[in-house]
Copies of this chain bind each other. A is one copy, B any other.
């Protein structure tokens, strides 16, 4: 079996190569890409069906690359491997994973055994496996058990790129007042104004809280901007 390793940090790359050789004897060849663009090219060229993918890379990040890979060959198995337990990454991934594709998400800080387990589960067995740390680390200060639903998350993204209520309403096909209701829910769930003595600018505060709690990260902002630009181009 051929495996493509996408990772721009050489130390992590060589550690992972070693790990692959150790954990998966059925791997015959390991290919290596330094960024998302290379990954897309190599996967196409070599008919890769098993990938270990870093998320944060300089030129083209793991989620974008994965989207392309899955568009071209939905049965590709991808194990995402990241330093950060950002919910934004997880949402980004689950938004693009095709029906019945195998994928996984492991932290780079995970112990050796768990990583090996994940490699086998995802790349060989075709299972889905997500490091539970990712959920655990969240919701430190945000009101607990308050998960954003998809429509709230969509509004959060629109808020984050700076759209006004009216624009969000247009884009998402809601009335102005509904958008504002979503925003109220967001302010509540993100803990805006909770136990604050002074009044704050709620919109900015919501973005701030979303970032600090890792519900969003900067890459998610960039991705949201691209989506919006694309949508707004088609609409005129």
**Chain A positions near chain B (C-beta within 8 angstroms):** 9, 11-12, 15, 108, 159-164, 167, 192, 197-205, 207-208, 211-212, 217-218, 221-222, 225, 232
Contact = CB atoms under 8 A, between A and B. Distances in A.
A213 to B, nearest CB: 10
21 contacts: A9-B11, A159-B201, A159-B204, A160-B204, A161-B208, A162-B192, A162-B202, A163-B198, A163-B200, A163-B201, A167-B198, A201-B203, A203-B203, A204-B204, A207-B208, A208-B221, A208-B225, A211-B218, A212-B222, A212-B225, A217-B218
A59 to B, nearest CB: 13
Interface centre among A11, A160, A162, A217 (most CB of B within 10 A): A162
Contacts of A217: 218
A159 B208 CA distance: 10
Nearest to A211: B218
A199 B164 contact: yes
Contact of A162 (B108, B164, B208): B208
Given A203-B201, A217-B218, A218-B218, A208 B11 contact: no
A204 B206 CA distance: 10
Nearest to A200: B162
A19 B167 CA distance: 53
A205 B205 CA distance: 13
A211 B162 CA distance: 13
Given A11-B12, A208-B207, A164 B218 contact: no
Contacts of A108: 9
Contacts of A203: 201, 203-204
A164 B207 CA distance: 15
Nearest to A196: B162
Contacts of A201: 159, 162-164, 203
Nearest to A86: B218
A202 B164 CA distance: 9
Contacts of A15: 11
A177 B128 CA distance: 55
Contacts of A11: 9, 11-12, 15
